[in-house]
Every structure is written in C-alpha cells, then in structure tokens.
Structure 1
Amino acid sequence: MTPPTCHPEARTYVTVLSDESYLKGVLTLHYSLLQTYPAYPLLVLLNDSASAHTQQVLTQANIPFKILPKLSYRASSNASMQQKGWDALLNNTADKLSVFTLTEYAKIVYLDADMLVLKNINYLFRYPHGSAVIDVGNIIEPLMEGKYTAEQYEYAHQFNSGLFVCQPNLDDYQRCMDLLQTEVGFDQEILRRLWADWQHSPQRQLPQTCNIFAANMAAYITTGVCGFTDVEVLHYVYQPKPWHKTDFNIHTTQDFIYFIYHEYLQKALRAAQLA
C-alpha cells in the first residue's frame, strides 16, 4: 500500500450520496454526528450526476462535499445480483469505492448514509487500515432461533461494509477497480476480497456496537449482544428507509428505534432550513 503523503492529522468522516432519495439520510447522519462533538467533519462524496438541487441543499446545510466520477458494476453483475433479490438501489454502491482516492486524508472513517450516530466515535480513527465490524446483524435472528445454514454462518463471520476505517491510497483503489470488473457482488463483496485477511486480524475488528442493525435491535438485546444504551451507531440497513416511515407503534422495539430516527430527521431538516 502506498503511504499517504498528507499530514497525519488530516482526517475526516465520509459518506456517499449516489441516489438523491438518500439526501434526507445524509442530512440526518450529519446532524446526529454533530451532536456527539466529533473531532473531524463529515465529507459527502457525490458522483458527477448529482443535481444542482442536491449540491445547494448540502451547501445550505454547511456540509462539505466532493464530486467524483460515477463508478458502476458490470451489467452482468447487476443482473445477477438482482436475480438473487438484491434491491436495485444497491447498484449505486460502487461509488463507495471512491473513498480510496481521498489521498489528501491520512485516515477516514466511512459511514453509510442510512446510519445514525448516537455516541462519540472519534476513537475509531486509532484503528488500523481495513478495520470494520463483524456482519452479525444479518444472522442475529436466525442465531436466536437456532435456525441458520452453514452459508449464513460463514457470511456473518465476515465484516459489514457500512462502517469501516481506511487510509486512502491509490493501490487499493486500483485493486477495487480491477475487482469491479470481475467480482459478482456489491461493494461489500469487493472490500471483503480486498481485505481477505480481516477474519484473522483481531486488531482490525471494531466493536459490534458501532454497526447495529436497527431492525434487529430486539434480537441483539435478547441474545445479549448489547443493550440499547450500548449502541454507538445504528444502521437502518433494510427497506423502507427510516426517512420514508411516518407511522410508529412506539410500544414495539423496532418502531421505537425508527421513531428515534424520525426525531433526529425533523431536527436535521430544521437545521438545514428545510422544514
């Protein structure tokens, strides 16, 4: 890996906005991060199809952004993944790989746009390149019920790409571009290939509480993985996205978790002068 040439304190949080339906998610992520008194700002990566409206909203909300060329999976990869039932919006996730071009930063903490930051996570910048959280959220309920396949178990013991720490460098970027042309899978599968030794590198395994799947919160509690007050980052990984949900039964754990997001969303829209 080619080392960065910038100052070692040049750091930032980063998210990607490839689909404008996620704009409210970016605003909410930014607002929630600010409430934790972060040591570094949030940078939003846009692709070159981003509308003037999106850029205006981010500017009005005082959120820095950078425009980079749009990245795409092969058509055959998209077709294959959609046949497996993946949401078509995941086609946009290739843009996440652009984070490796941010060589003006010595280190970044990447956050998906459908996340909510509840506690200060500045300590994550102390972790090494290629650090991430185990993907237990995809199997937490089958584990609770004792009903899971060997394939599910193996998949869940890799990392989830919704949050990771990296040192941007062009060697890793080129490797990702090569995998983009050959790998049948979204950004997560490509990053798992890039950091294939992650499972055997305990120093790169971030706390589970930094990437908790919101829809599975009850299962995390039941299995003793964590309690709600332990959560540092909530990940609203499934559809519908939380900014689309308006009806809540706050007596259920899942709806209460989504209601919390709604409260942050309303404050984020007011802060951005959009409500």
Structure 2
Amino acid sequence: MLLISSVPIQTRRFVTLATNDSYARGAMVLGKSLRNHKTTRKLVVMIGPHVSDPLQRGASKIFDEVLLVDVLDSGDRAHLALMKRPDLGVTFTKLHCWTLTHYSKCVFMDADTMVVQNVDELFDREELSAAPDPGWPDCFNSGVFVFRPSNETYGKLLKYCTEHGSFDGGDQGVLNGYFSNWATADISKHLPFIYNLSSIAIYTYLPAFKQYGGNAKVVHFLGQTKPWSYTFDPETKRISGDMQEASTHPTFLLDWWMLYSSSVVPMMTEGYGEQPFHSGCVEVSLEGSSASQDPHHTEPYVSPQASEERKQKWEQGQADYMGMDSFDNIQKKLDAFLK
C-alpha cells in the first residue's frame, strides 16, 4: 500500500528508497548531503515496512515527504506480478516510484549515494537519463536516474518484469532491458560519470580519477560492504571495520561518516537513544595505512603465486584497498611509470 499526501501537480522531487533500517540511515545521509549543497527541490523517501518507527521519524526530519510503500501486500498489479516472480520483490518496490504521478519529474537516487556538489541541474534532463555503469558502460547504472512518473510506464515495466525477468536479478537489469535503446538512441540522456561516481571505478582507472575526481557531484558506494558496515569514532575521526573489503576511496567513506555522525546521529538521539553501528572489527584509521605514511616504505616482494592470487582478488572485487593495493601505493606505481 502506498500512502501519499496531497501535493500540487507539476512538482519535481528527489526520490530515494529505504527497505530496512540500514538503508534508512543511508537515505538520511543522502538527504542531508542534498540539503547541505543547497538543493532547491523537495525530498521524498519511500519507506518499506521493515523500517522501524524511530528511523521513520528520523527520516521525517530530513525529507519533505515520507511515503510508506509495501508492494508485497499492496493488492495492486505489482502484487499480482509477484505471484509469478516473487524473486523480484525488492525490484518491484523500486519500480513503484513510477506511480508517484503527483510529481511531474523526479531524480531517483539510491540510499547508498551521497551528494558532494549541487545537482539540481539534473531536472533539466529527460527520462531515462543515467550514467554508464563502470562494469559494462553500454548499460546504465540505476543508482541515479531521471524519470517521469507514469502509471502507463509502471504497468509496462511490470509486464516486462514478468515476461523477461532481470538479467542481473535486480532493478538495474529490468530497467536496462526496458530502456534498451539508452546506449544508442540519445546521447543527451547519458549523464556524465561525475553524477554517479561508482566508488569501485576509482581503483580501476586511477589516472582518470586523479584528473576528474575533483569534479564529482555524486558518489555511489557500490559493492556488498556499505559505509554503515563500519563504526566511527567522531573524536579521533577513525573508522573501525574490515577495510580490506572497502570498495571506495577512504576520503569519501570518511565524508559519509562525518556527515552521519554530525547531522544524523544528533537528530536520532533526540529522545530515541540512537546507537552507532558496531562491527566488532579492529579499528583502522582512514588517514592512510601505515605503509602509505612511511616515506621509506617500498612495496614488498610478491611471489608469482601471490601475484596470481592478487589478480584473482581484483577480478572478484576483493583488492587489498588498505594495504598493497591502497590508493597511495597504486598512485606511486602510476607516477613512476608515467615519469
């Protein structure tokens, strides 16, 4: 069931989705980042039934509208479609944003994104505008996209889901299948990568990150390990967690936690006793690994077997980002090569 308030027609909104408490926290960081960078648009968050009441109340302090979405029990076309494809439940929840027809145009942003510059100009784009995915650039990444709510489009998307499914098991596969001409039809719908800087791409093309990274407007924390998978000490500005699984540059991860601890946590502790995340992992400083801080450090000898294992870990997205494969170490290698 979707509960919405009455708002004027011809409105434009930033929209995000939180299906559980962790993603609700991420959504609040996203909302605060949009506010901090002076957006002139109102903010909407779709909240799933598994988000706790305290987190819903916290979201209402940041977002202009909190919409309760429960596609699994909605009794609408999505419910009927799920009878055939229950594996696409979360995907259907995200596609539900096309039913927000009391808005004229929206920019959808995943709850694991963070704005680092104002992005209001995205509303000048048309549906379906999105940035290329770093893993397969002929596909767009569905973490940030411009769309026009439409019940007709929603119905067609559901039909596509039930007939074709999703080639990647999620919403990105469905949307790329439905908007299949994105790669070739209209270049104006290709958002520059700075609007969806997928964190893993920082390590796969370091020279480009060095050249263009300062222009980034939206950072997307892709991968299984999200910012909220760690803990943060605001006094020492240190993050605790398994940093070898980190899939983003430490600076962005630190920025996320600084925003969460300074703006979201105080809001949540007003009567609700919000506690920080705990991972039970050894604390690691984001100011750099001990190797990168040591001016006399040299990269250790790597045996052929270890080198092959390292290659396999890179291919599996498990590079040692805080050790041998740290940003500083790789940058030193590139600098030496380019001299």
Q: Which residue of 1 aligns with 2:222?
A: 237
Q: Secondary structure at the match of 1:38?
A: coil
Q: Which residue of 2 aligns with 1:194?
A: 178
Moved more, 177-186 or 103-112: 177-186
Q: Which residue of 2 aligns with 1:165?
A: 146
Q: How many positions carry a matched residue from both structures?
A: 240
Contact 1:161/1:188 (<8 A) preserved: yes
Shift of 1:50: 4.1
Distance 1:133 1:214 in 2: 13
Structure 2 unmatched ranges of 5 or more: 1-7, 73-77, 232-238, 275-339
Q: Which residue of 1 aligns with 2:336?
A: none
Contact 1:133/1:210 (<8 A) preserved: yes
- The one of 211, 216, 230 equivalent to 2:201 is 216
Q: Which residue of 1 aligns with 2:281?
A: none
| 22 and 119 in structure 1: CA distance in 2 versus 1, 3 angstrom threshold | same
Moved more, 239-248 or 220-229: 220-229
- The one of 212, 229, 232 equivalent to 1:227 is 212
Distance 1:171 1:163 in 2: 21
Distance 1:97 1:225 in 2: 35
Contact 1:61/1:272 (<8 A) preserved: no
Contact 1:118/1:234 (<8 A) preserved: yes
Spell out, residue by residue over 1:175-210, the C-alpha distance to the aligned partner (whole angstroms, 9 max, x if none): 111123231331111111221111111011111100
Q: Which residue of 1 aligns with 2:37?
A: 36
Distance 1:125 1:226 in 2: 27
Q: Which residue of 1 aligns with 2:306?
A: none
Distance 1:110 1:256 in 2: 24
Spell out, residue by residue over 1:140-197, the C-alpha distance to the aligned partner (whole angstroms, 9 max, x if none): xxxxxxxxxxxxxxx3311010000011001110011112323133111111122111
Q: Which residue of 1 aligns with 2:328?
A: none
Q: Secondary structure at the match of 2:117?
A: coil
Q: Which residue of 2 aligns with 1:106?
A: 104
Give runs of aligned pairs for residues 1-40 of structure 1, distance below 5 A. 7-8=9-10, 10-40=11-41
Give runs of aligned pairs for residues 54-203 of structure 1, distance below 5 A. 54-61=55-62, 63-71=64-72, 92-136=90-134, 138=135, 155-182=136-163, 183-184=165-166, 185-200=169-184, 201-203=186-188
Distance 1:42 1:190 in 2: 25
Distance 2:256 2:217 in 1: 14
The structure with more radius of gyration = 2
Distance 2:9 2:23 in 1: 32
Contact 1:161/1:191 (<8 A) preserved: yes
| 46 and 224 in structure 1: CA distance in 2 versus 1, 3 angstrom threshold | closer
Moved more, 39-48 or 119-128: 39-48
Instruction: Tell me the amino acid that sits aligned with residue 227 of structure 1.
Output: Y
Higher RCO (Cα < 8 Å, 6 or more apart): 1
Distance 1:237 1:198 in 2: 21
Shift of 1:271: 5.2
Percent identity over the alignment is: 25
1:265 and 2:240 correspond: no
Shift of 1:34: 0.6
Structure 1 length normalisation: TM-score?
0.77
